[in-house]
Amino acid sequence: MVSTKTKALFGLILIIALFVLTSYFVKQNIDIFKELIGNSQLGLLIWFLFTVIAVVIAPITNMFLMPLVSNVYGWIETAIVTLAAWSIGSFIVFYLCRKYGVNLVKKLVSLNHIYKIESRIPKENMFLNLLFLRMIVPVELLSYAVGLFSKVNFRTYAITTVLGLIPIAFLFSYIGVISLQYQILGGITIILLIILIHLLRELWGISKKKI
């Protein structure tokens, strides 16, 4: 049976592949896309709303569409709008979790995905650990896990959410406009970094058990 971690890795590879394919298709037809949606800010508003919904109704992801928005509206504008949408979506998730708990959450998301993230929620050094997790765990899943299974206050949650998502929003928005070969190289680098981080965490856990 394929392990959860292997499925997560294949999911990441699929998202990166779709990201690169979307970027290639958009670049090949950029004039058409700009003519269709580039003259109106309505597209950015739709992207904002779609991204908020993607966070609240996990595990939907629209990250692979970022090259479309970045190439039409500019990568800086895309990063700012995406960051705002991710943050507001995360705040909504936090509110829903704390006010209504599992009874409502199970109607919006798959609890199996949330329970798998639960073990990663830090018990100590909450601020720094949450900041780190924001950079490596999908925004929607971590938001639900922290909202349901941690006692972190909203202030800490909000600050770590925004600060942790800033580099991700700007990085992926920028990657969406660079050349295809660099996107592929960047995707491979991200996968290798995540594997390395996972291995280091496993080794750290083993060493702590031996002490």
Q: Is 176 helix (H, G, I), strand (E, B) or coil?
A: coil
Give the tens place of pLDDT for each residue, 81-102: 999 999 999 999 999 888 888 7
The pLDDT of residue 3 is above 60: no
Residue-level pLDDT at 208: 54
Binned at pLDDT 50, 70 and 90, residue 15 comes out as confident
- What helix, strand, coil percent values describe the chain, rounded to 5? 85, 0, 15
pLDDT tens column, 184-211: 888 788 778 777 876 776 666 555 555 5
pLDDT, residue 88, reads 96
pTM for the whole thing? 0.80
Helix H or strand E encompassing 55: helix 42-56
What does the alpha-carbon distance between residue 126 and residue 71 come to, in Å, rounded to a whole number? 37
The better pLDDT of the pair 2, 7 is held by 7
Token pair 């003519």 in the structure block, residue: 35
What is the C-alpha to C-alpha distance for residues 63 and 190, in angstroms, rounded to an integer? 14
CA distance 197 to 188: 14
Give residue 32's pLDDT. Answer: 83
More confident site: 34 or 120: 34
3-state SS assignment for residue 116: helix
For 158, other C-beta atoms within 10 Å of its C-beta total 15
Domain interval for residue 9: 4-210
Domain count, the chain: 1
Work out the percent of the chain whose per-residue pLDDT is above 90: 25
What pLDDT does residue 202 have?
A: 66
pLDDT given for residue 129 in this prediction: 78
Distance CA 5, CA 2 (A): 8
pLDDT of residue 76: 94
Helices 42-56 and 75-100 pack at an angle, to 10 degrees, of: 30
The pLDDT tens digits for 109-144 are: 767 767 777 766 767 777 887 887 787 777 877 888
Residue 1 pLDDT? 44
Q: What is the rounded distance in angstroms from the CA atom of residue 61 to the CA atom of residue 65?
A: 9
By C-alpha distance, which of 136, 113, 133, 114 is closest to 125? 133
**Tokens in use for 126?**
């909450």
